Amino acid sequence: QVPLKPGRSLMDWIRLTKSGKDLAGLKGRLIEVTEDELAKHNKKEDCWICIRGLVYNVTPYMEYHPGGEDELMKAAGMDGTDLFDQVHRWVNYESMLKECLVGRIALKPVAVPKETSISEKKKQLNGMLPEKKLLGASAKDLTPSYDWFQTDGLITIVLYTKQKDMNTELVIVDCQDKRLRGEIIMNDHSYVLEVDLDHAVEEDFVVNIAEKIGKVEIILKKKDNIHWKMLGQPLESHNTFIKCKNRGLFYRKCKLVSKTEVTHDTKLFRFLLPKSTHLQVPTGQHVYLKQIIAGTEVVKPYTPVLPFLLLDFQETSCHDGANIYLMIKIYSCGLFTQALDHLRIGDYISISNPEGNFKKSQVQALEDLFLLAAGTGFTPMVKVLNFVLTEVSSLRTAKLIFFNKTEDDILWRNQLEQLALRDERFEVQFVLSEPTKDWVGKQGRISSSLLSGFMKRSRKDSKVLICICGPTAFTEQGVQCLKDLGYSQEEMHAFTA
Ligand code: FAD
Ligand code: NAP
């Protein structure tokens, strides 16, 4: 993120898009754009970008882009789909840039032979090919298969994934009205079964997972006791197996059931997943929340926490799967958090499937864990800490170094101090950047010297992991400090979008 000029916030952009100004510059027409034409619009004052086959005139958006003009210019006059996906796949540009739409990219009439090589395919504009065709041979072999059968009252769908370590966090099922969507995460791939069911089913259903053989069963209850001739009509994503990063986000509406104060500006929101959803957010992953603000869809990521520290891990996953707890700082001029704060108990908000690249395998056989958190960068640390303290028997020390401006900003201070008293492996160190004169603890910002003083291994060459999360600049600086201190890439995990 770069600092934006005053009057160039997201809200200002939304206002501009509603002003009736001709932002695309084509007086309301939509045109077909050839690649040659697209290439001509490659300057700051005349900049067109193609995303998934649609061409946008982003010139008026330049100053509003949170990533800065230079970042946007990297895709000037080109297909920016890849670049866009790398940086912010989740931003709903369709809604944000709809007033800038110039038209569709003109497809060259290419005669595609039956077996095109990947390199030939890449020559075509990204995002224009049906995703299924991009599957490599190896991915095809791993594609799960499914089958279904029925009894008088039940419909059972069986998915065979051939993946040995299948578990409940890897299976996400939603059944809204007659629309059933089941997603299975298999390493970096996602398999989706999506059908418009033949007949109505009850809201709740059962998901059984045979972890060792990778078999997943979805058992639906028929609403009416009738014989189904077929499972239903396949929907758009049905039976697709693609890279997770190419799968669009799927949302369901969740109810706000409580909101409690954590500090003067941070609240713990508890959202209830619908009965018709099976979803558990894995440790270290985040979800996206979506709201319509001033007529525009706005999406922001948040990292679920636990209702409080140190729950028995098994207990949490069994009994609390239906709730998503989010610890969110409300910014006085924040677009999304202000709208969130105005939600009333009982209101609904859209929450997406989880995402993120933290893997539990990173803490396997771990001996020393260091957590470097700044502000709400504490949120991913909650589940990581809970997981290692309850599940990783090799763990000797877990230390949180928590950076905040003032004492009043420290999240769950009491709980952290209690935990340190209860569990001798855990230690917490608060560091303040704007302390009052009464503060006797550590002060300052993240630096190599500060870290080297705090991060002591339990033994030489112990297996160590350092997690870091906070404002982007904090995280970047922290990673640099750790490199300077001699830690390897494998020994660090930076939480980012
Ligand atoms: P914005 O409208 O974006 O503004 C926030 C504040 O920053 C305002 O004061 C604004 O003036 C200023 N600001 C924003 N952008 C700029 C800019 N480019 N230049 C200058 N000033 C700027 N937050 C949590 O509270 N809890 C979480 O669990 C959490 N998890 C996250 C997980 C991930 C993976 C990521 C990437 C972020 C997470 N965040 C979390 C942050 C969250 O996504 C939002 O960014 C945050 O809530 C602010 O949103 P907002 O729309 O209210 O604020
Ligand atoms: P904050 O209160 O503004 O800052 C917390 C502490 O970090 C302060 O001590 C602050 O020092 C320090 N800090 C800020 N910028 C720094 C920098 N460039 N270098 C060194 N120290 C710096 O933090 P916040 O408002 O809670 O923001 C939390 C951030 O975490 C947000 O940007 C959010 O997006 C991010 N986050 C990311 C994830 C994720 O990626 N998974 C999850 C949760 C939160 P100063 O007072 O000196 O600025």
40 with 100, same domain?
yes
210 with 263, same domain?
no
Ligand nearest to the CA of 1: 1
485 with 391, same domain?
yes
211 with 168, same domain?
yes
Give the pLDDT score at 5: 85
Nearest CA to ligand 2 atom 32: 471
CA of 491 to the centre of ligand 2 (A): 22
Close Cβ partners of 117 (under 8 Å, ≥ 6 residues apart): none
Ligand nearest to the CA of 473: 2
CATH number for the domain including 441? 3.40.50.80
Give the pLDDT score at 140: 56
Average model confidence (pLDDT) for the chain?
A: 89
> Distance between CA atoms of 299 and 492, rounded to whole angstroms?
28
Q: Which of 403, 407, 430 to mutate to test the pocket of ligand 2 (most atoms within 8 A of CB)?
A: 403
Close Cβ partners of 434 (under 8 Å, ≥ 6 residues apart): 405, 406
469 Cβ below 6 A of ligand 2: yes
Q: Which of 10, 331, 379, 496 to mutate to test the pocket of ligand 1 (most atoms within 8 A of CB)?
A: 331
Q: Kindly state whether residue 296 falls inside one of the protein's structural domains.
A: yes
Q: Kindly state whether residue 123 falls inside one of the protein's structural domains.
A: no
pLDDT higher than threshold 90 for residue 404:
yes
Lowest-confidence segment of 189-193, 203-207, 245-249 by average pLDDT: 245-249
374 Cβ below 6 A of ligand 1: no
pTM listed for this prediction: 0.84
CA of 121 to the centre of ligand 1 (A): 38
376 with 490, same domain?
yes
Give the pLDDT score at 101: 93
> pLDDT for 284-332, tens place per residue?
999 999 999 988 889 999 999 999 986 554 555 444 669 999 999 999 9
239 with 282, same domain?
no
Lowest-confidence segment of 48-52, 88-92, 183-187, 402-406 by average pLDDT: 88-92
CATH number for the domain including 346? 2.40.30.10
pLDDT higher than threshold 80 for residue 107:
no
> pLDDT for 108-162, tens place per residue?
655 544 444 444 333 333 333 334 444 444 555 678 999 999 999 999 999 999 8
How confident is the model over 398-418, as a mean pLDDT? 97
300 Cβ below 6 A of ligand 1: yes
Give the pLDDT score at 129: 34
Lowest-confidence segment of 3-7, 400-404, 412-416 by average pLDDT: 3-7
Total domains in the fold of the chain: 4
Query: Where a domain ends, among 105, 135, 163?
Result: 105
| E strand spans, 273-387 | 277-278, 287-293, 296-302, 304-305, 323-329, 348-352, 368-374
419 with 351, same domain?
no
Query: Where a domain ends, among 292, 327, 355?
Result: 355
405 Cβ below 6 A of ligand 2: yes
Ligand nearest to the CA of 14: 1
Q: Kindly state whether residue 472 falls inside one of the protein's structural domains.
A: yes
377 Cβ below 6 A of ligand 2: yes
Instruction: Determine the structural domain holding residue 72 and report its residue range.
Output: 10-105
Q: Kindly state whether residue 122 falls inside one of the protein's structural domains.
A: no
Q: Kindly state whether residue 184 falls inside one of the protein's structural domains.
A: yes
376 Cβ below 6 A of ligand 1: yes
208 with 273, same domain?
no
> Distance between CA atoms of 49 and 378, rounded to whole angstroms?
36
Give the pLDDT score at 3: 79
Report the relative pairing of strands 201-210 and 464-469 from DSSP bridges.
unpaired
> pLDDT for 435-471, tens place per residue?
999 999 999 999 999 999 999 999 999 999 999 999 9
Q: What percent of the chain has pLDDT over 70?
A: 90
Report the relative pairing of strands 442-443 and 426-432 from DSSP bridges.
parallel
Give the pLDDT score at 273: 96
285 with 199, same domain?
no
> pLDDT for 57-77, tens place per residue?
999 999 998 888 898 899 999
349 with 267, same domain?
yes
368 with 487, same domain?
yes
Give the pLDDT score at 135: 46
